[in-house]
Structure 1
Amino acid sequence: MRYILFYFIFAPEPDLVKEVTLLKYQFELMKRMIQSDEYPFFMFVIDHEFEEEQVNALLKVLF
C-alpha cells in the first residue's frame, strides 16, 4: 500500500504532446481503415472535424 500511494504522489504527469501525437497517428490509421466509397458520410465528418453534437444533428436530419 505504501508503494502504490508513493507512486501516485510522485508519478510524472502524462506528456500531453506525446498523447496528442499518438491520437493523431491512431486517427490517421482509422482513416485508412474506413473505405470512403462505402462510408462517404463518415469520411466527410472525419475530414471536416465535426463535433459529436453536430454529427448527431446531421444524422437526425438525414434519417
Structure 2
Amino acid sequence: MEGRAVLGPFNVDRGQAIASFQRLASLEVEALCVPHGEPVLKEAGEVLRAAAPETDWL
C-alpha cells in the first residue's frame, strides 16, 4: 500500500508474525525492502511504527 506498511494475511502463526513485525518497527532504519511493493527508501522506521498489524487483515 502506497506510503504505509501492512502485515499480510498469509502467515502460519499470526501472533509470531505480529511480534516479528513489532520487533522490526523498534529498529531505527531508513530503508525497508519488501517482497511485494516498492521499497521504502527514507524514514522506514516511522512507516513501520505507524502500522498496526494487530488490526490489519482480521
* Fold shared by both chains (TM-score > 0.5): no
Q: TM-score of the superposition, structure 2-length normalised?
A: 0.32
Larger relative contact order (Cα-Cα within 8 Å, sequence gap ≥ 6): 2
Rg comparison, structure with higher value: 1
